[in-house]
Structure 1
Amino acid sequence: KKKNSSQIRSELKNSDLKSLSSETQNPFTSSSPKDKEMEETAHPYVPRDLKLPGYVPMTMSMSTILTVYLGASLFVVTLVWFLFGRKKPQLDKLLMCWWAFTGLTHMILEGYFVFAPEFFKDNTSCFLAEVWKEYSKGDSRYVGRDSAVIAVEGITAVIEGPACLLAVYAIAKGKSYSYVLQLAISLGQLYGCLVYFITAILEGDNFATNSFYYYSYYVGANCWWVLIPFLISYRCWIKICASAANNVETTTKTKKKTR
């Protein structure tokens, strides 16, 4: 049967009302794909198209994070200086403080980064998570879980961290392997920094929110792990070479006496 014109107009009107209703239904809960994409990228890091689903904004300020970190570091250095290095020369005490500080930094701070891949989702105000959320403003490869960064930090946390604490013990007890151990750790730190900086350059070196975070975090916070290990490596090399030369000289004199 053919529909008359009034029925057709009625059906068209009803269909228009249904389509209008579906378009306007739940305007506060429905979201377009573009809105969802904006939600996923609502973070302070660059590049802006970096996907961080579930990102939770920071709850601690930069000043709070720095105060806690520097305070804890000062406590460790003071403890080592007065408790473990009382009878040691000043340079040895400084080295012990450095190795204790850098060893705990590697194991605790960097270890957390390696074994907590979703720290950016933390909503408990965990201090370590807040540290990496803040530091990622200077290098977003951390929050983005860059494979090169994870590899470098993993080796640093698992191998170099405990080795640094062993260096504290070796200096305190005057162990014969002290200089060799310090040289090995320092070369490892220098190599890690080279990989860290070179991979950033090869990937475009565009991971900082602005120049302040670039120079204060990416450059400033890492330059100490270039300068100090270089100086320690040089000193240890001189000591090892001098010791080897003395051994050769002693052996030569002993052979002459036995002839």
Structure 2
Amino acid sequence: MSTVFTFTSLCSLAAVVVALGFAIVLSRLVLPKNASPRDRRVFVWLSFDALIHFFLEGSFLYLSVFGRTVHRSSGAFAEMWKEYARADLRWGVADPTVVSLELLTVLGVGPLCCYVLYLISRKDAMQHYWIIVLSTMELYGGFMTFGPEWLVGSPNLNTSNPMYTWLYLAFMNLIWVFIPAWLLFDSYGSLAHSLPASAAKKGI
């Protein structure tokens, strides 16, 4: 493990922790003190989500589109993605499927996260509709990141080391499955509860 866990690994994980810390601070600055635990948790997640999409995945997209590929680029972000590419080779060579998904993620999901944050700060019930849209996009992106790879026997995935398998490939991707799935369930429940009440109030 000592030959695998490098200074770049440490910096990459630190960047994720810093993003989470910033999201927590932002929730305390934006949301009122009496905000519900649910709203605060969702606000923190979506803030963290937006930061990851814009800055980390945005840097990958920039390097892949304007810098030729991650492997041919230099700089802090390039080194970070070279580190991740040790676990999934596609991220180093600007794989068309991965780049296409990142276009959707950075240009679509990131801004939508910010819009939902705005709705949460205003306690607008429309947040639930857009959370369902957002979560569906996240789940679709997760499936399409690995689905095509699994169908051909995962030739680009390196599972030779537990850190690559469980930290980079499993943990760093499964949180974008379990949390969006929970948000989808939570917002669906809120809409399913509120729609009959609204219809009854209007006498429908």
- What's the TM-score bracket when you normalise by the shorter of the two chains? 0.7 to 0.9
Choose the corresponding residue for 2:186, options 222, 235, 248.
235
Q: What corresponds to 2:99 in structure 1?
A: 150
Aligned to 1:51: none
Match of 1:76 among 8, 22, 31: 22
Q: Distance in 2 between matches of 1:69 and 1:225?
A: 14
Residue identity matched to 1:237: Y
Kept in 2, the 8 Å contact 1:65–1:127? The answer is no
- 1:184 is matched with 133
Q: What is the match of residue 128 of structure 1?
A: 77
1:204 is aligned to 2:153: yes
Contact 1:100 1:164 in 2 (8 A): yes
In structure 2, stretches of 5+ residues that fail to align are 1-5
- Contact 2:16–2:52 (CA under 8 A) maintained in structure 1: no
2:171 to 217, 220, 242: 220
The residue matched to 2:92 in structure 1 has which SS?
coil
Q: What is the distance in 2 between the residues matched to 1:94 and 1:62?
A: 27
What is the CA distance between 1:131 and its match in structure 2? 1.6
Count of aligned residue pairs for this structure pair: 192
Separation in 2, partners of 1:218, 1:160: 21
Shift of 1:163: 0.5
Larger radius of gyration: 1
Q: Specify the alignment match of 2:3 in structure 1.
A: none
The amino acid of 1:79's aligned partner reads V
- Alpha-carbon distance in 2 for matches of 1:65, 1:109: 10
Asked if 1:246 is matched to 2:197, the reply is yes
Which structure shows the higher helix fraction?
Answer: 2
Q: Distance in 2 between matches of 1:78 and 1:165?
A: 15
Report if aligned partners of 1:103, 1:165 keep a CA contact under 8 Å in 2.
yes
SS of aligned partner of 1:116 = helix
Report if aligned partners of 2:112, 2:134 keep a CA contact under 8 Å in 1. Answer: yes
Cα distance in 2 for partners of 1:66, 1:148 equals 25
Q: Which amino acid aligns with 1:223?
A: L
> What is residue 26 of structure 1 aligned with on the other side?
none
For residues 62 and 38 of structure 2, what CA distance do their matches in structure 1 show? 35
* Alpha-carbon distance, 1:61 to partner: 2.7
Identity %: 23
TM-score (norm 1): 0.70
1:106 aligns with 2:106: no
Distance 1:68 1:186 in 2: 23
1:96 corresponds, among 21, 35, 43, to 43
Residue of structure 2 equivalent to 1:166: 115
CA distance in 1, matches of 2:83, 2:152: 21
Once the two structures are TM-superposed, the CA of residue 121 in structure 1 deviates from its matched residue by 2.4
TM-score (norm 2): 0.87
Contact kept, 8 Å, 2:63 with 2:73, in 1: the verdict is: no
Measure the CA separation in 1 of the matches of 2:152 and 2:85. 16
